[in-house]
A and B are shown apart, each in its own frame.
Chain A
Amino acid sequence: MAAGAGPLEQFKIKNLGDLQIGSYDISFTNSSLMMVVTVVLIAAFMIFGIRRQLMVPGRFQSLVELSFKFIEGLIDDTIGKEGRRYLPAIFTVFMFILVGNLLGMLPYQFTFTSHIIVTFVMAAVVFVLVTILAIVKHGMHFFSFFVPPGAPLYMWPLLIPIEIISYLSRPISLSVRLFANMLAGHTLIKVIAGFIPTLGIFGVAPFALVIGLTGLEILIAFLQAYVFAILTCLYINDALNLH
């Protein structure tokens, strides 16, 4: 390991261009750069994939359709046909997280999903919009969501606070899950990689381990995007149907 390059060095935010509005510091950083790259990549992928819409899709078009159909199937399984309206939102969130995670797996790249503020903003937006959706759809009846169905009356004082706390902890668990997975995975790879040069010829063993872990991390990158999407679907389902 080079001097001064600790396992957490890779998450450092570097300022690429100063920008200040009022007292807010909204400088362009390497984190924002990676987000812009992610959005451009997704847009290019979708636009070039469906540029020539063929009845029998080629490889590129099938890839786009595959990713689209995947989220569509996910929504059909969890919400049902009425959930198709939310397909663009869920697909966008899924692709943003997936491409962000995968870009972070490239060597020397920055992973913006390994920062709690990025994932928390996404989770908070999901939480607030789902709550608004539920209140618009059900009005005051929404608050019956906090009463478990079939629970006897004397259990209500105990159960209602538990339900409210578990509802309010949704954005926290949603964001910390993604952020902690990315942080832990990248730190682990960096720590194991640090053993390679110090062990000399026996460094082959940690090297093989790092290769395996990289494969695992790519799986986790996909899995976490999937879990974020499926939990968003479940929350929308809760908002639409209340239990």
Chain B
Amino acid sequence: MELEAAKVIGAGLAVIGVIGAGIGIGNIFSSFILAVGRNPAARGEVFTMTMLGFALVEAIALFALVIALLILFR
């Protein structure tokens, strides 16, 4: 039973990494809005880069999530 409890606590600790990704995604989109506000003509180009950055940062969050799932269900 203690092992089960430790597993659940460990999975909970593992998803703490998502905090960083949340900060990162917030940063990316705030920069995107600032950039488009200053130069609306560059929207298309900046949007491509934003989506790329968003996907790269989100992947980090999902690494943490995969670790948590591995701990829980293995």
Contacts and interface: CB of A to CB of B under 8 A. Distances in A.
B55 interface: yes
A238 B72 CA distance: 39
Given A224-B55, A227-B55, A181 B62 contact: yes
A115 to B, nearest CB: 13
B9 interface: no
A127 interface: no
A37 interface: no
B65 A177 contact: no
B59 interface: yes
A144 interface: no
Contacts of A181: 58-59, 62
A183 B68 CA distance: 13
Size band of the A side of the interface?
A: 10 to 19
Contacts of B51: 223, 226-227
A92 interface: no
Given A8-B73, A173-B59, A180 B66 contact: yes
A180 B48 contact: no
A224 B69 CA distance: 21
B52 A227 contact: yes
Given A223-B51, A226-B51, A230-B48, A176 B59 contact: yes
A77 B58 contact: no
B10 to A, nearest CB: 18
A224 B48 CA distance: 13
Size band of the B side of the interface?
A: 10 to 19
Interface string A197-235: 000000000000000000000000001101100110000
Contacts of B69: 8, 183, 187
A118 interface: no
Nearest to B73: A8
Contact of A230 (B52, B62, B65, B66): B52
A168 interface: no
A128 interface: no
A189 to B, nearest CB: 14
Contacts of A77: 45, 48
A185 to B, nearest CB: 10
B73 A176 contact: no
A77 B51 CA distance: 14
- Interface pairs A-B: 5 shortest CB-CB: A180-B62, A177-B59, A227-B55, A180-B66, A184-B65
